[in-house]
Structure 1
Amino acid sequence: MTTSMTVRTLRNEYAKMRHLRIDLVAALLLLGVAALTVLTAMNSGLIDHRADADGYGWKLLMVSLHGAVTLAAPLLLAVMASRQVEIEHSGHGWVSTSMAGATPGRLCRAKLLALGALISPMPVAWGALVLIIGRSIGVTAPAPAERLCCQLICLAIVNLAVLGAQLLASARTENQLGPLALGLAGILLSTFSQVMPLWARFLSPWTAYGLIVPADFVGPTLVDLDCHLVNLSVLAGIGGALFLAITARFDRREI
């Protein structure tokens, strides 16, 4: 795909996003995770742990953020992917764009770029919220900037992986109930992934949320956990290669 065609295809995708009101779903994801993070942290006793010297308050906020994302992101990402792809099924978009030079696989890659650019900055906003809430209620321990940055990067990677999987599922079937059901199943997989064996968390984008749990209880103590950034980066590379390979097959056959 030439640069001019890539730019034109992306512009078309952004135009579709405005028409489909994808921005509303994205706003729901952004604000929903923010609200769930605050509510979960407050209900878990954040106020009572403001002065803990071990940074318990920050750990609680980060765990709450992780839990909020696992509850909201799988389904809302599925909705975003489904709406962005459904228009191609209903309006014979695959055929018309192919005639214009953008084959189905290339179109799927453009959709991932367009939607990915929309969701990738969200973890930065969530991280800022964690810092603002922590400071505003008076958490006295130093903010764990390095661990928080690691968590935000990992959340962005896993969200992109889930989005890519949902786009492929939506592109393969005209009936979008299946991909949306996959999003619902993704909530269960992501929620329970942290109690799965470590090897099982590598099996899908949804279970990969279990690799980035920031902390867990060991007795009464909330202990920091490894975010597996290196392993997750390797998985992201493998997932990206699979996405390119599958969409390349779309280029050679009609969806």
Structure 2
Amino acid sequence: MSGAAVANEFAKMRRLRVWLIAVLMTLAVLGLSLFTVVSSPDFDPGSPGAWNALLAGMSLGIPLICPLLLAVIASRLTEVEHTGNGWLSQATAGITPGVMCRAKLVALGLVVTVTTLGTGLLVILSGKLLVGILAPPPLGRWTVFTLCMLAVNLVVLALHLLVSAKVENQLVALGIGVLGCVLAVFSQGLPTAAAHVTPWGYYALATAADYGGGGYIAVDVCYPSIIALAVVIGIAFALVTDRFDRQEA
């Protein structure tokens, strides 16, 4: 994969308004996180556990918003290849379908990384400046939570790129995105073992806080499982896109 292939994907993204979708993703998750605080009658900004409410809001907001919007950006960046015969035209220039898929993952992965990390930072700033939480933020737990959510987002993005590249009808990819949102939210009420069944269930494993005992409490993030998922999907993505390289565009 060359830098030119990645730069080409960034050029396509400017016309497809991918960054606008990323901003909408950030604002939606931020809004849901703040809604968790304002809708809780027991919330106390002076409580030592006040940050758990925002963490719980993000733990719900990201699974509710991200799977569908990740499907949208993956579909938009891949649909242009189907409609404009981009697979063939790029192959004649030496950029095979597998290389294009890997370049799309790198380019969109950078967007998703900036969006996810930026959302985590904005929620912290909002907790201090807008909500007025007095206790210092739990930066260690917040960092682990954000990185785990980022890992799951990148996994879901990789899967949607493969689906969008393989299936020309992008309604299929968007339908899977809607189903992913349902599975991600539904998995939060399932046992830990059941959450491992689908990639979207790993959003529940990255949850850092939840409601219990009359208030929001901290929850351990299952980061070993999320690391294992990222490794497995990373290898699978490399193998599948390598097969794309041996096929005709």
TM-score tier, shorter chain, comes to: over 0.9
Q: Which residue of the partner structure matches residue 179 of structure 1?
A: 173
Kept after mapping to 2: 8 A contact 1:165/1:205: no
For 1:114-129, what aligned pairs fall within 5 Å after superposition?
A: 114-129=107-122
The structural deviation recorded for 1:44 is 2.4
Give the aligned residue type for 2:197. L
Q: Which residue of 2 aligns with 1:108?
A: 101
Number of the residue aligned with 1:242: 236
Matched with 1:227 is 221
| CA distance, structure 1, for counterparts of residue 20 and residue 132 of structure 2 | 33
Out of 194-203 and 154-163, give the one that drifted further.
194-203
1:38 is displaced (CA, Å) by: 1.5
Percent identity reads 40
AA at the equivalent of 1:25: I
Distance across 2 between alignment mates of 1:242 and 1:13: 22
CA RMSD of aligned residues (A): 1.5
The aligned counterpart of 1:189 is 183
List 4+ stretches of structure 1 deviating above 4 A.
none
For residue 39 of structure 2, what is the aligned residue in structure 1? 43
Q: Distance in 2 between matches of 1:218 and 1:27?
A: 32
Aligned mates of 2:18, 2:56 — CA distance in 1:
28
Whole-angstrom distance in 2 between the partners of 1:217 and 1:39: 14
User: What is the distance in 1 between the residues matched to 2:31 and 2:211?
Assistant: 23
1:75 corresponds, among 43, 68, 81, to 68
**Among residues 75, 79, 96, which one is paired with 1:86 in the alignment?**
79
Distance 1:31 1:217 in 2: 23
Query: Which has the higher mean CA deviation after the structures are superposed, 82-91 or 245-254?
Result: 245-254
* More displaced 10-residue stretch of structure 1: 136-145 or 236-245: 136-145
Give the unaligned 5+ runs of structure 1.
none
In 1: Cα distance, 2:175 partner to 2:127 partner: 36
Q: C-alpha distance in 1, partners of 2:41/2:98?
A: 48
Aligned to 2:59, which of 56, 59, 66? Answer: 66
Judge conservation of contact 2:56–2:211 (CA < 8 Å) in 1.
no
Say whether residues 1:10 and 2:6 are aligned partners.
yes
Seen in structure 2, the aligned counterparts of structure 1 residues 45 and 116 have a Cα distance that, compared at 3 Å, is farther
Paired amino acid for 2:196: F
CA distance in 2, matches of 1:14, 1:142: 38
Structure 1 equivalent of residue 30 of structure 2: 34
SS at the partner of 2:210? strand
* Number of equivalenced pairs: 248
